[in-house]
Structure 1
Amino acid sequence: MDAFWIILSGSLVAVSCGLLGCYLILRKMAMVGDAISHAVLPGIVLAFLISGSRNSFVMLIGAGLIGLLTTFLIEFFHRKAKLQSDASIGLTFTWLFAVGVILISAFAGKVDLDQDCVLYGEIAYVPIDLWITGAGQIMGPRAVYISGSVLLIILLFIKFGYKELFLTTFDPAYATSIGISTTLWHYLLMGAVSLTTVASFEVVGAILVVALMVAPPATAYLLTEDFKKMLAYTAVLGIVVAVLGYYLAWFMNASIAGAMSVVAGILFLAALLLSPKEGIITKMLRNRALRNQTQSI
């Protein structure tokens, strides 16, 4: 039963992260998730200092607010300071992460509060982190409810904002010309990324969140040029990563998050080599067949 809960929560997180990752990759902002997962540390510390509690919900609120600030600063430095996207991402998350480290050392040095215990989750703990009602009834792993709720929000966001997200991603100039605010939809997308990243890294860990937000969408990108198919392939690949990653970790007695990340990388490599249109080996075989046809003529 533990395996089921771990795979289920991993799959829910993988689909949420992957769907948003499709937009990030096409907008050339794939590392925003990594930036947010590190930059939220001061939000976690400030939430603790203000509330005096290490309650996960309180810290998630603090982390979420700083996550939104992170996306604003990245865009601000990119537009106003004319920095490249990668430079603004690197500047923002290192600065905010450093602020968090200073806050911990200055105000929370004697408290069990560090980036390992509040920033990085562990998917193997999902079955034992239970949601217990006030009446003492066990409802199941808390992570499943968190991940399921986030996925529902992301699916509704994409369903009702599909046209706007599509146009602002592929043709922002046209979107602006027909009255769609590219700035508004950029921040809505970044808000969704922030929500998903912050909610997910407590469940599966920051490293796996980044891997799931980049690898499955990048793999799907190599497999199709149809955006709707890319979204569908990404969701399927995310579930495959969760399933195969768990059993790889079980077989090797290794980290589950690490195994899932490895599987995601292997699937991307397979697509890179064997993709029907863009695969390296596929192109070599196609060129060889074409040369043979030419010589036979």
Structure 2
Amino acid sequence: MMSEFWIILTGALVASSCGFLGCFLILRRMAMLGDAISHAILPGIVIAFLLSGSRSTLPMLLGAAVFGLVCSVVIESLRKQGVQADAAMSVTFTALFSVGIILVSLFTRQVDLDLDCVLYGEIAYVPWDTWEIAGIDLGPRAVWAVGSVFLLSLVLITLFYKQFKICSFDPAMAAAIGIPVSLFHYLLMGMVSVTTVASFESVGAILVVAMLIVPAATAYLLTDRLNIMLILSIIMGTLSSVGGYVIAQQIDASIAGCMTIMAAFLFVLAFLFSPKHGVLTRWWIRRQLKMRLSGEKA
């Protein structure tokens, strides 16, 4: 029973922390940044291994986080030079991923070192990788890592909510009133990098990338207010985690896969039935208007 609780809690924390930041990525049209980071961190992993001589978690995470931030900086630099955002992301992550592959082939041929063995985890194993201090079991490491990152993001967004909001909707206005747009951009990119890297090891890249996009996209369809969108993204992520785990238990399938499918299902519901943007909702409103106009003419 406790193992189920830890798995669901970890999934909910990952979904909440990723969805929370994903709202700002969607508003900035950078939804695929998480996927870019998941490939671009390979050189950081290799360099961390070469410097530390160990595959332990901390140096790997530090190396990956640094190159995740490097990826974000390069993407933004290319965007400022006129390159389209999707092209900038594609060029950056393919180039950095290729550099990582070359480093692996040159320096770590005799070592089992790749993304799968270092950062692409499995959420089902979370309850058994615990953190102990003085013989006291404090629970899974993943809960502490992802929970700490989520708390950090929550505090920073709360403290600088106005600045992040204006920078996301109108960067030109933000610069005009004296807000350091670049500083808050890179602060957001840093939070995204740390969140994705901290989550990869525990739950796997597919779940992280999905939760960085899908709950936020679902919330985007349900409201036009940013503060409500942030809250809805956390709710949608948590529902995806709980519902996905229940489905996985019923059909004996991948937990991360079922959580992702549940998130996609909630998105489809919002896409069809959203009060303002839903396809079926708009069709029903148009139908009612036509019927009313027909009745008035008769």
Could you tell me the TM-score, scaled by structure 1's length? 0.98
For the residues of structure 1 that align with 2:260 and 2:22, how far apart are their CA atoms?
Answer: 15
Matched with 1:285 is 284
Alignment of 1:94-133 (within 5 A): 94-133=94-133
Total equivalences in the alignment: 295
Q: How much has 1:67 moved relative to structure 2?
A: 0.8
Alignment of 1:8-47 (within 5 A): 8-47=9-48
Q: Secondary structure at the match of 1:264?
A: helix
For the residues of structure 2 that align with 1:77 and 1:176, how far apart are their CA atoms?
Answer: 19
CA contact (8 A) 1:41 1:119 kept: no
Q: How much has 1:136 moved relative to structure 2?
A: 2.6
Q: Which whole-Å deviations, capped at 9, do the CAs of 1:140-178 have from their partners, x for residues lacking one? A: 111110011011101001011101101111111111111
For structure 1, the 5+ residue unaligned runs are none
Q: What amino acid maps onto 2:227 in structure 1?
A: K
For the residues of structure 2 that align with 1:115 and 1:33, how far apart are their CA atoms?
Answer: 15
Q: What amino acid maps onto 1:110 in structure 2?
A: Q
Alignment of 1:1-297 (within 5 A): 1-80=2-81, 82-133=82-133, 135-297=134-296
For the residues of structure 2 that align with 1:267 and 1:240, how far apart are their CA atoms?
Answer: 9
For the residues of structure 1 that align with 2:263 and 2:14, how far apart are their CA atoms?
Answer: 14
Q: Secondary structure at the match of 2:131?
A: strand
Q: Secondary structure at the match of 2:31?
A: coil
Q: Secondary structure at the match of 1:180?
A: coil
Percent identity of equivalent pairs: 55
Q: Detail structure 1 runs of 4+ shifted over 3 Å in the superposition.
A: none
For the residues of structure 2 that align with 1:87 and 1:36, how far apart are their CA atoms?
Answer: 14
Q: Secondary structure at the match of 2:138?
A: strand
Could you tell me the TM-score, scaled by structure 2's length? 0.97
Q: Secondary structure at the match of 2:54?
A: coil
- Supply the RMSD in Å over aligned alpha carbons: 0.9
Q: What amino acid maps onto 2:61 in structure 1?
A: L
Q: What amino acid maps onto 2:115 in structure 1?
A: Q
Q: What amino acid maps onto 1:101 in structure 2?
A: I
For the residues of structure 2 that align with 1:140 and 1:274, how far apart are their CA atoms?
Answer: 40
For the residues of structure 2 that align with 1:121 and 1:98, how far apart are their CA atoms?
Answer: 22
Q: Which whole-Å deviations, capped at 9, do the CAs of 1:31-84 have from their partners, x for residues lacking one? A: 11111111101101110011001110110000011111111110111213x210
CA contact (8 A) 1:9 1:144 kept: yes
For the residues of structure 2 that align with 1:27 and 1:173, how far apart are their CA atoms?
Answer: 13
For the residues of structure 2 that align with 1:192 and 1:139, how far apart are their CA atoms?
Answer: 25
For the residues of structure 1 that align with 2:112 and 2:27, how far apart are their CA atoms?
Answer: 40
Q: How much has 1:137 moved relative to structure 2?
A: 2.3
For the residues of structure 2 that align with 1:104 and 1:184, how far apart are their CA atoms?
Answer: 33
Q: What amino acid maps onto 2:282 in structure 1?
A: K
Q: What amino acid maps onto 1:231 in structure 2?
A: L
Q: What amino acid maps onto 1:70 in structure 2?
A: C
Q: Secondary structure at the match of 1:139?
A: strand
Q: Which whole-Å deviations, capped at 9, do the CAs of 1:185-212 have from their partners, x for residues lacking one? A: 1111101111111111111111111100
Q: What amino acid maps onto 2:48 in structure 1?
A: A
Q: What amino acid maps onto 2:264 in structure 1?
A: G
For structure 2, the 5+ residue unaligned runs are none
